[in-house]
A = this chain, B = another copy of it.
Amino acid sequence: MLTMQDALARLTSYWTDQGCLVVQPMNTEVGAGTLNPATFLRVLGPEPWRVVYAEPSVRPDDSRYGENPNRLQTHTQLQVILKPDPGNPQELYLGSLAALGIDVAAHDVRFVEDNWASPALGAWGLGWEVWLDGLEITQFTYFQQAGGINLDPVSVEITYGIERIIMALQDKNHFKDIAYGPGISYGEVFGQTEYEMSRYYLDDADVAANRQLLDLYAAEAQRLIDAGLPVPAHTYVLKCSQAFNVLDARGAVSTADRAREFARMRRLAGEVAKLWVARRDELGHPLGRVEPPALARPVSTPAGKDGTRLLVFEIGTEELPPSECRAAQGAVERELRSGLAGTRLAHGDVRVFATPRRVVAVVTEVAAREDDHVRTVRGPKLAQAYGADGAPTKALEGFLRGQGATLDEVAEADFNGVRHVVLNRPETGGAAAEVLAPVLAKVVTGLRAAKNMRWRDPQLSYSRPIRWLMALWGDDVVPVTVGLLAAGRRTRVLRTAAAPEFEIASAETFMETLAFNGIVADPEDRRELIVTGAQDHVYPEGRVDVRGEAALIDQITYLVEAPTPLLGTFDESYLTLPDAVLTTVMRKHQRYLPVRDADGALLPMFVTVANGPVDVELVRNGNEAVLRARYEDAAFFYRADRSSAPAELRSRLERLTFTDKLGSMADRAGRISSLALALAADLELSSATLNRAAALVKFDQGSQLVTEMTSLAGLMARDYALHAGEPRAVAQAVYEAELPRNTGDDLPASLPGALLSLADRLDLVAGLAATVGLPTGSSDPFAVRRAVLGLLAVHRAHPALAGLSLTDALRRAAALQPVPVSGEVLAACAGFLAKRLEQTLTEEGNPIDRVRAVLPHADRPSVASNLLAQLASVTANPDFVAVAEAVQRARRIVPPSTPAGYDAGILKEPAEVALHSAVVAVAAELGPSPEPDLFRFTSVVSRLVAPLATFFDEVFVMADDAEIRAARLGLLATVRDLGAGLLDWPELQLR
């Protein structure tokens, strides 16, 4: 059996064979190998660097007394830095797994999107988690920034989680059982340390002492920065970080502390990085500079051919994130179509396919060359081309000289109706390869993702590195070059294939070569394979909810290019865990499809989709072990959480930051609670259930399970509250406070739940609007849009809440914030709400005019929504239409400034007197501020229909007599205002 120490030795040896130095772990506590100066400092600046080292990585917060099978206060990382990117780091990495004896062709090794960022270090990168049969064994990152400084060249950072790898290889369920060395287990070597250091971090570390240490370290770091010594300064930044982590594990970090300390560490780390760069400059870069790689040179253009052939263009990438993969498919198609349109090359269908490792464009019947044509070159206006003597002007002469043409070649043509002299130049169409090359190059350079990164290519920037281009028009290579890449006829198939690269003879054989190698290029086909494959594999009584899991299936479709669905099972005993826990683990963490029986109950099995022709038994076993470990973890958390009272869990919210300026989660929960109770009091909806639920709201965010899986918030609250003996209604309300979690989710059914849900969202909107601003464009990190949609939905769902003005409620929420919320901000919030309501109502299929007509009630969405429903019916009622038309007619006639009211004594005409009487009666019946009810309004106001018709027929409003005119306008203004506040009448289109 490969022991852990052997594994470390083998990996180290493998990477030294790849030219890496070996250095020792940092001799002060670090949370990760990244913090070792051999990474953090060395990735900065232009010097090359390749290193491998082990790093015992201390995570005080992960202390579990050695009891949790998968979590340790200190685990062992093996860290590799390759600077610059060698161009094939994934392949090198797979070689390292092989060096460990892992048969990468038999296992399912996958690169799953993972973007890494350390705000405290001003560092980030893009890359993957590497999965071995579903187990995350490595973090693989293209390091983009450190200490706030852009990295050039970019480094590849590979971080192996040794304990996990070894547990998988040795088939162990507890880290203590790892064979560490011959005849000695990990537990035997490190068990006591794991226990005691956990005790220190969780229970016994002196908080006051560690606070002092933190300050001393920070001061020392600053002094050393001031002294121009980045190396010792960095050491003290690391010590800061450890002291902070100890305090955090001891639960001694307040929100204010956290924000301040992160800012301080970020600043210090940034200054250290700057200083290091400056020092290396001063020292003249002792390790030299990375030479920029030579740009690709195009292959020679093939000789001209005839006929039409298939064009295939493959952009080979490292594993794209699913969303980017899908986006690339569209973008490439658009860019290619528009590029082709810019040429005169005849072609047939354009189709684009995408897998995680390639975007393939296929264009049928691409002509061998563009059609010949005549190019018209515009010269001066005719009027200015010849003098009065008919001789060419200087302008014409200059034009001819510039074009190298003579006067006898000149013709004439109109441009925008103006006659110009022109030159008609016949041009031969370009050969396909020649014409296509720049078009295809532009497709590549045009690729952009939501988050872009750099690698060794000096010209490209994209979601993940682009590693090869294959471009064939029939048998010929299209000589595309971009950055370091020159397109050729080589493609790559699965990395684990016996022959991972192929020469493609002609475009026409390409897709079958891919298919032959198991690669399903078309996402539709892959999806189908996954869905049918999953269904085929599950036991007869089980089924995969294809519709319910659509989003997950879509994601999986873009995670594999050679889908191999396979079934795994887990121990039935885990079914005692809540359904949501089980499925969250499957979906979010593992991308496994849950399997249910006919009644929708979970079965102890799952479907995972491997990539390529793996050893199914091996991969199944691996994935089952991973899920077991995850469930074991969840069960551990679940038991631990259940053993804590809700009040105790809630007290932990003190330690969770909401935002820097808006305090802790405890602060937020307090505000939600206050607000919900206040709203209830206003609405006379107070209840014991609400009181209790408000006291508990969000308590489950203090639980371990929700900390691990935030999407379980609310669900676990209900579970734990019930377990703790809370009344069912309270437990339900605390759950419902989190609803709706997304569009289409359930809404709170109970009023206490609804009030808490509203209060939650009101607090979020008011606080964030005042601090980070309302969302604009696609950026909405706190999901304020979703919160507002929830707000509207909850309000609309509960008639009892109809009286609640959301703008009033927002004002109340604002008053509870720890920051001032200005009137402008509140107005912006109201506008934002109204806009969301308009959008929602429209999306529900309501005509936009009616939606807009009810928008004055946007702050009471249920009112607006109710009016909209009435509108659908009353607009078919002639009385309503007549009234509405009258109102609109009055509105058109009466200047907006004219107030309602008039001297009734002035009115003499029978028609106007009759209208006056009718209006007085109607107004009296409607009352001063009626509830918005179109049915009643219509029935009351319909009595004006006849008098109004007569009035408009018989009375000339704009009488010469100013008094009479004023009285008549006043009468009409009164009519106009009878419906004021009910609808935005002008918006309503009546026919």
Contact = CB atoms under 8 A, between A and B. Distances in A.
Interface of A: 5-6, 8-9, 12-13, 16, 19-30, 37, 54, 56, 58, 76, 180-182, 184, 187-189, 191-193, 196-197, 199-200, 204-206, 209, 212-213, 216, 219-220, 223-224, 227, 229-232, 279-280, 283, 286-287
B209 A216 contact: yes
Contacts of A22: 5, 8-9, 181
Nearest to A189: B21
B231 A197 contact: yes
B25 A196 contact: no
Contact of A219 (B27, B209, B227): B209
A216 B231 CA distance: 24
B24 A27 contact: no
16 contacts: A19-B182, A21-B181, A21-B189, A24-B76, A27-B29, A188-B287, A192-B280, A192-B283, A196-B232, A197-B231, A199-B229, A199-B232, A204-B223, A204-B224, A206-B223, A209-B220
Contacts of A189: 21, 23
A204 B13 CA distance: 38
A279 to B, nearest CB: 7
Contacts of A19: 182
Contact of A229 (B196, B229, B286): B196
A166 to B, nearest CB: 14
Contact of A56 (B13, B24, B197, B280): B24
B199 A227 contact: yes
Nearest to A183: B19
Contacts of A76: 24
A9 to B, nearest CB: 7
Given A24-B56, A26-B27, A204-B232, 18 more contacts: A5-B21, A5-B22, A21-B180, A21-B181, A24-B25, A25-B25, A27-B28, A27-B30, A28-B28, A196-B229, A197-B232, A199-B227, A199-B232, A200-B229, A204-B223, A204-B224, A212-B212, A213-B213
A199 to B, nearest CB: 6
A159 to B, nearest CB: 15
A23 to B, nearest CB: 7
Contacts of A199: 227, 229, 232
A622 B191 CA distance: 46
A215 to B, nearest CB: 10
A212 B212 CA distance: 9
A77 to B, nearest CB: 11
A199 B279 CA distance: 14
A192 B20 CA distance: 19
A193 B231 contact: yes
Nearest to A30: B27
Nearest to A280: B192
Contacts of A220: 205-206, 209
B23 A58 contact: no
A8 B188 CA distance: 25
Given A9-B12, A184-B21, A227 B212 contact: no
A581 B231 CA distance: 36
Contacts of A204: 223-224, 227, 229, 232
A224 B199 CA distance: 10
A191 B16 CA distance: 21
Contacts of A232: 196-197, 199-200, 204
A12 to B, nearest CB: 7
A222 B219 CA distance: 25
Contacts of A192: 231, 279-280, 283, 286
A9 B16 contact: yes
A671 B770 CA distance: 74
A47 to B, nearest CB: 9
A523 to B, nearest CB: 46
A601 to B, nearest CB: 44
Nearest to A288: B188
Nearest to A212: B216
A219 B210 CA distance: 11
A184 B219 contact: no
A-B complex: 7 closest residue pairs judged by Cβ atoms: A196-B231, A200-B232, A21-B181, A5-B22, A196-B229, A193-B231, A204-B227
A25 B23 contact: no
Contacts of A181: 16, 20-22
Contacts of A12: 9
B9 A13 contact: yes
B188 A286 contact: yes
B200 A219 contact: no
Nearest to A196: B231
B29 A193 contact: no
A220 B6 CA distance: 36
A806 B196 CA distance: 61
A193 B19 CA distance: 22
Contacts of A213: 213, 216
A18 to B, nearest CB: 11
B196 A230 contact: yes
A180 B216 CA distance: 35
A36 to B, nearest CB: 10
Contacts of A188: 286-287
Contacts of A205: 220
Query: Which of A30, A76, A223 has the most C-beta atoms of chain B within 10 angstroms of its own C-beta?
Result: A223
A281 to B, nearest CB: 12
Contacts of A28: 27-29
Contacts of A227: 199, 204
A200 B224 contact: yes
A232 to B, nearest CB: 4
Nearest to A20: B181
A486 to B, nearest CB: 30
A229 B212 CA distance: 22
A573 to B, nearest CB: 30
Contacts of A206: 219-220, 223
A29 B26 CA distance: 9
Contacts of A224: 200, 204
A439 to B, nearest CB: 44
Nearest to A55: B24
Contacts of A37: 193
A187 B283 CA distance: 12
A287 B184 contact: yes
A181 B19 CA distance: 8
B5 A16 contact: yes
Contacts of A24: 25, 54, 56, 76
Nearest to A185: B286
A13 B223 CA distance: 42
A219 B19 CA distance: 46
A54 B286 CA distance: 26
Nearest to A229: B196
A416 to B, nearest CB: 68
Nearest to A180: B21
Contacts of A229: 196, 199-200, 204
A561 to B, nearest CB: 37
A21 B4 CA distance: 10
Contacts of A8: 22
A542 to B, nearest CB: 45
A216 B220 CA distance: 15
A187 B37 CA distance: 16
A224 to B, nearest CB: 6
A220 B212 CA distance: 12
A942 to B, nearest CB: 85
A14 to B, nearest CB: 12
A433 B673 CA distance: 98
Nearest to A19: B182
A352 to B, nearest CB: 45
Contacts of A27: 25-30, 56, 58
Nearest to A213: B216
Contacts of A223: 204, 206
A754 to B, nearest CB: 49
A219 B206 CA distance: 9
Query: Which of A29, A30, A54, A286 has the most C-beta atoms of chain B within 10 angstroms of its own C-beta?
Result: A286
Nearest to A203: B227
A40 to B, nearest CB: 13
